[in-house]
Amino acid sequence: MFIATLIAAGRLGDDDLARAIDVAGGGEARWIDEGDAADLLLGPIEDWRDLRDRLEAALPGVDVIVQKVEDREKRLFVADMDSTMIGQECIDELADFAGKKAEISAVTERAMQGEMDFAEALHARVAELNGLGVGAIERCRTERVTHNEGARTLVQTMRARGAATLLVTGGFHDFADPLAAELGFEEVRANYLESIHGHLTGRVTGAIVDSSAKRQALIARRDEKGISPGAVLAVGDGANDGPMIEEAGLGVSYRGKPKLEAMADARLRHNDLTALLWAQGIPKAEWVSGPAPESTAGAGAPHRPSLPRHA
């Protein structure tokens, strides 16, 4: 059995539901939150992706998520950071403090479009930060980085309902650790910027968190918790999120690049991140939006490996 969730916060009407039933060739419509989100209960479907595409075409401005009824409410949430949980690409904003935003942003875009190997792009961009004072990192984080709408409510609500949460990013712990503490993620996977004498060296240390590492982090957390593959929700925006998105029971592209949209189960193009709560059948009355739950991801000054002073 399948269910199609139609989401258009403040804009969904009875006419939209009737049109969806017509496109699907039948089904029973039920409101999750009237005017915001509704479910279309369906029978077996031969090609659910085709139905999703036809519903999206018939309902402009409506996000459509088609999935099996089983494992609808997820027990593990895995999210990318840059341009997903936050509205920026941190390395691009940090590059602005070095006067190199335009050239680094161009490399970032190629990597996110899948036109350039991620590790190669990461090393090339970080090299341009050589000599930048580490104080610019905190300034960048506090002055430039903003949560995407709905991010905190999404994470907190899933935590409150017992789901495990993992922030996994090709970005850096300097940004990811404080963000995880603010939003309520339990665990972080990210890269480390190297510094010496208070300045970045233009290098990263340790294994690179690339597309393969993101997928492996999801699998490791899923298996550690004994969670079935179908009960995993993952969201990202770039081509490097692809393997992680494909591994999840429900893989979502959030304002994603074309290569990611092509492989994702669902595409959030119109609504904020709270749409992923409606996708799980959770009404607004059950959302949590208070202080972030205690996080084991680490807060305060992040760990940044440095070279020995007399190296």
How far apart CA 185 and CA 298 sit, in angstroms, is: 10
Under a CB-based contact definition with an 8 Å cutoff, are residues 51 and 28 in contact? no
Question: Which residues, including other chains, have CB under 8 Å from residue 292's CB and lie 6 or more apart?
Answer: 152, 155, 156, 181, 182, 183, 184
How far apart CA 192 and CA 35 sit, in angstroms, is: 44
Under a CB-based contact definition with an 8 Å cutoff, are residues 247 and 275 in contact? no
> Which pair of tokens denotes residue 2?
């399948």
Under a CB-based contact definition with an 8 Å cutoff, are residues 80 and 238 in contact? yes
Active site residues: 80, 82
- Measured from the Cβ of residue 294, the count of other Cβ atoms closer than 10 Å reads 10
Helical (H) or strand (E) element with 233: strand 232-236
Q: 12-22 b/e with 16+ CB inside 10 Å = b?
A: beeebbebbbe
Under a CB-based contact definition with an 8 Å cutoff, are residues 179 and 165 in contact? no
- Measured from the Cβ of residue 275, the count of other Cβ atoms closer than 10 Å reads 23
